[in-house]
Structures are given as structure tokens and as C-alpha cells.
Chain A
């Protein structure tokens, strides 16, 4: 269907930069959300921004949809390919162009892995703050697309807070810059609009990120509680006291059990929940805050508190948390990673209701999450040999999102909407809200070729009057446009 593009793509990316073999194409059929799969029509691996622009121009000229992909670790299917389209894989664009400690910034290509930015900045005393759990492998370009967060975003902010300039290829194939690297460029904040747009506004080819000073001291406390509700109360108390830890993570009993079996993290036995509270900054601040956190956890009924004495002990505390997702896989082969947000003050009631939903349905749910910013990651466990069990798990997972919305939260904290959650968007946004977002999308991508089918439940054609659709769009009816 799109074989006719191959010669042009080989001309642009070279023979080793174009994948056409059906078996090789299957390598790219999904990202981290493996329940959605589609082998791409064609894969290209450009090496430069100019090559990306040329590839996009070919696609735009031929009316062929295209999808960008970083490392493929996304959890919402944002990089799900199209069988009738071109997948543009950024993994060969992995140069760190500049580390500029004097200006506290770095310029990188999109295929650079998240952690390698920090590694490169480390000799200068700096690091790149947004730290998704997949930071060893996930790409900065993918982080920009999904506005990725991580455990330490509670204090340090998300990707959008650390990007000050983007070189992009527009859906028409033009190469241009958004922002100027200062974070204070006049005019519309298009960097802010682009970060988190899930690949629907264009393809990023260079990124200017802020670097943060490596803190003088880091310490970590592990506090055990009888229930997640008590742990949630401790979280509220810590934040309410004006302390902003670098991270506050919570794990419930099932997650602790799984981590124990996997990495023998030796969390306090019989705990219904543990909090991992990390503090960083000047030594005097960290010591004062650690004492305050300890007291607040005790007041909230903590049964045991440990503090890491050195980096090795800190690593041991984190080992349980960092292994948790994989560890849950040992007690149940298949699970859905949900990603929802609730106001911090609603953590206790929402966790109780999730437990109730779990008990009523007989489906186990493990909770491992960023408690400090109310970002839940319930893992819904199911037997993947049974279609009924999978459907029931999906239903429970959706019910958890409904809970988040009714408590004033959000359907995603950091994993994005992608294909996975587009159907939930109308639960959170009205028709006029979605229409406003689509106006932005159409301004960048009037042809609807750039990562179509993501984010929006019912894509709109540019110029279409919003509202209930009564029959096909006139452009579709006349064969001038196609809806994906």
C-alpha cells in the first residue's frame, strides 16, 4: 500500500535506514502498552533533523500518515504505528550536542536516553531532573511527547518545566524552532503546547533542557503503616507542614509482598503500606526536614521508620520500589498498569474505594505510586488466558479512572492518553473543551496525518463544526479526506 514510498525513503535515509521486511516491521508493532499492536507499513530511521523533515515532506505529499517513535517504552500506545503509515524511529538521533553548565542547560537529540543526559552533566555537578522509571532506556524525545514525569517530579517538576526550546519538524515538513532556550521567549508559549502533545503536533528533532544542580545531600526514609489510609494521612501531613520532599512513594501490602519475593527488600514485616520519603537539598535543610517527616509519620501512626545511613542503604530502600512493577509480574503474569490522579487529600478515601472494588470483583489490585502528587498506579492483575478475565480487569481499571474523575482528579498523570485512554477523554472534558484542543491540533496538522487516532476519541477535520455528527463529513463524502 505504501511500497511506492520506499525509493524516496531510501534516498533520504539510506538503504540501512529503511525497514520493509514484514518480520522486521513486527519489531515495532507496539510500545510499552503491548495490548495494542499494529505492524507499521514502513519504518524509517533518519539520522538528522533534515532527514526527518524530508521524510515528513514525502509523507505529507503522498497523504500518508506518520507516527514518531522514541525508545518504545510509552505506556499509553502513543507510538502505536499505523499499518497504512510510516513509523519514524528516532533511535539513531542520539547525540548530546552540548552540555552547557554555565547556562545550566543541555541540547540533545530526541533519541538520547533520559539518564544519559544526567550522566553527561554529572561531571559538572548537574543532572536532568525529570526521572521516569524507564529512564535507563526511554528517550528525551518521547519524554517531550508524553510530558513524562517520575518519582522526583514532586519537587523538581515534569518535563514541561525543564524544556526551554524545541527544534521541530512540522506536519508539513518544515524545520523550525519553538522557544529560544531561555524559558522566557515572548509570544505564545508554543513549547508548553508542544510538550505533552503526544506526537500530534509534529516531530521534535532537538531539545534544550534545563539542568539542575546535584543536591548537597540526599536522604531517604522508609515508614511502615498498618493501612494505606494511614500512609495517605502521613502524606497530607508532610505536604501540609510545608515540606516538599524530592519524592513520596507508596506501596501497598500486595506490592510489598511481590517486591519482597523478587528482590528481598526486607520492608517491615506485616506492613499494610510503606512510604518512601526522599529529601534532597542543602545538608541543614535535609536534616531538619527528615526529623520533621519522622515526627509526622509517627503522629500518623507509623509502626516503624528507617532512615538510610548511606547511599547503599538508600539504594536498598529504593530497590523494592523500583522492582515493584516487574515484581508484580512474578505473582501474576498479566496486569494493567493504570495511571490516574486524585487530589492528595482524597488519597485515603480513593484507596479505600479501590480496595472495595477489588474485593467486590475478586480481582487483585496492587498499588505502587507517586503518593506525593496523588498520582496513582493501580496494577490490575488478571489471567490473560481468559478473555472474560481480561475484560473484567479492563472494566475494573476503567472504574478506577471514574473514581479519580469523581474525586476531582485526572485520567492520566504521566503516561499520556495515546490510544489507551482516548475513550475516557469525554468523561473529563466537555465537547467544547475537546473542540478547543482540536483547534490547536488542526492549526499544526490540518491534514490530520501526524500521529492520527491518538488522544481524541472522535477526530475532527479542520473546519468541521463541532457537535454531534449527523452523517459523514462533506469532505469524506466527496472523497477529498479520510477519517482515521
Chain B
């Protein structure tokens, strides 16, 4: 089956790739595959593999607001950032933190609070899980940047674009740029 070949190619690029199910749907559109790259290199490789096969890709963080936008016209592959969860560096003296995209805002807040600092974005944590439980992971840094989400304190501290000073992105063809 052609689909299996695509899955093999995606999995070669990113081991944590699997066939997607209904739980992976993006605003009602169910993808064929779901990948969770664990490094920038894997994210780049899986994007390149998807590009070579003409697969439409949707990026997702924790999925706390996945159905807020218009449903994607196509979605063959959903790539989440949940394994990209490292707080790489907190240079407290410089008031700068370097994190991977899948780090949750709540966890980042805890790390920064240890040095008496905060990320001045109070993005609401997202709705509760279907079972009524508090969501395990809150909005991620990557998702917050992608959507430009901000909470009420934007009045005083501004929006994500006012607080971000650099990003590394994987372009649609897999090119990594800063």
C-alpha cells in the first residue's frame, strides 16, 4: 500500500510516527499520520519527507485550542511538538530563556519562578480534558507564538511578539532557519 510506504518514509525521518486515528483530528479533519519529532533534526527530516510526498501538514502543540480556527482544507500529517519539551537555557541575569516549542507555559512558569522571574503572558490554560480533568499540559510556547495568543495582562506587558527575541523554524521544505 502506498500509504505504508509513506509511513515508512516518515518513520525513517522521525521514529515517533504512527498512523493517525480520530483522536488526532484537527477541527474535524482526521490526518493519516501523526509524528512527534524529538529534535530539530527530526522535525526537519519529517517535514522534508512530507514535502517530497506532497503531504499537507498541520503543526500542533498541546492541542488546547486546536479547533479554534477554520478546519484545514487538507491534513495528511499532523506534527506535534510534545517531545520538544526542553528548557534549554534560562539565563536569569539576562532575563532570557531559550526553550523548545513544546514546553508548556505552566512548566516554563515554574522554572522561571525559581529565579523570581516570569513570562508575562497569562494565556488561559485551555479547556479541561473530556473526562473533566485539568489538562495535563497547558498551552505550549510554540502554540502561543503561532497563534499570537495573550491573556488579559497584554494590556500591561504586550503580546508574544513583544516578548520573543528569536526563533528557530523549520520551513515547509524542511529547511531550518533562525
- Please tell me which stretch of A129-137, A200-208, A234-242, A361-369 contacts chain B, meaning at least 4 of its Cβ atoms lie within 8 angstroms of it: A234-242
* In the complex, residue of chain A having the shortest beta-carbon distance to the beta carbon of B154: A184
Q: Are A236 and B159 in contact (CB-based, < 8 A)?
A: no
A441 to chain B, nearest CB (A): 14
A424 to chain B, nearest CB (A): 16
A239–B94 Cα gap in the complex (Å)? 8
Q: Are B178 and A429 in contact (CB-based, < 8 A)?
A: yes
A239–B162 Cα gap in the complex (Å)? 19
B72 to chain A, nearest CB (A): 17
> Which residues of B lie under 8 Å from residue A436 when comparing CB positions?
169, 171, 175, 177
B6 to chain A, nearest CB (A): 26
> Which residues of A lie under 8 Å from residue B117 when comparing CB positions?
242
Say whether, besides A242-B116, A343-B96, A432 and B91 are in contact (CB < 8 Å). Answer: no
Number of interface residues of B (CB under 8 A): 19
Q: Is B95 an interface residue (CB 8 A)?
A: yes
> Which residues of B lie under 8 Å from residue A432 when comparing CB positions?
175-177
Q: Is A192 an interface residue (CB 8 A)?
A: yes
A133–B161 Cα gap in the complex (Å)? 26
* In the complex, residue of chain A having the shortest beta-carbon distance to the beta carbon of B116: A242
Q: Which of A154-189 contact B (CB under 8 A)?
A: 157, 161, 183-184, 189
Q: Are B93 and A236 in contact (CB-based, < 8 A)?
A: yes
A343–B158 Cα gap in the complex (Å)? 22
Q: Is B128 an interface residue (CB 8 A)?
A: no
A114–B143 Cα gap in the complex (Å)? 36
Q: Are B158 and A161 in contact (CB-based, < 8 A)?
A: yes
Q: Are A345 and B116 in contact (CB-based, < 8 A)?
A: no
> Which residues of A lie under 8 Å from residue B161 when comparing CB positions?
189, 192
A57 to chain B, nearest CB (A): 32
B137 to chain A, nearest CB (A): 26
Q: Are A433 and B177 in contact (CB-based, < 8 A)?
A: yes
> Which residues of A lie under 8 Å from residue B162 when comparing CB positions?
157, 161
Q: Are B91 and A343 in contact (CB-based, < 8 A)?
A: yes
Q: Is A430 an interface residue (CB 8 A)?
A: yes
> Which residues of B lie under 8 Å from residue A157 when comparing CB positions?
158, 162
Q: Which of B100-138 contact A (CB under 8 A)?
A: 116-117
A-B contact list, 21 entries, CB within 8 Å: A157-B158, A157-B162, A161-B158, A161-B162, A236-B93, A239-B93, A239-B95, A242-B116, A343-B91, A343-B94, A343-B96, A344-B93, A345-B93, A429-B178, A430-B177, A432-B175, A433-B177, A435-B175, A435-B177, A436-B169, A436-B177
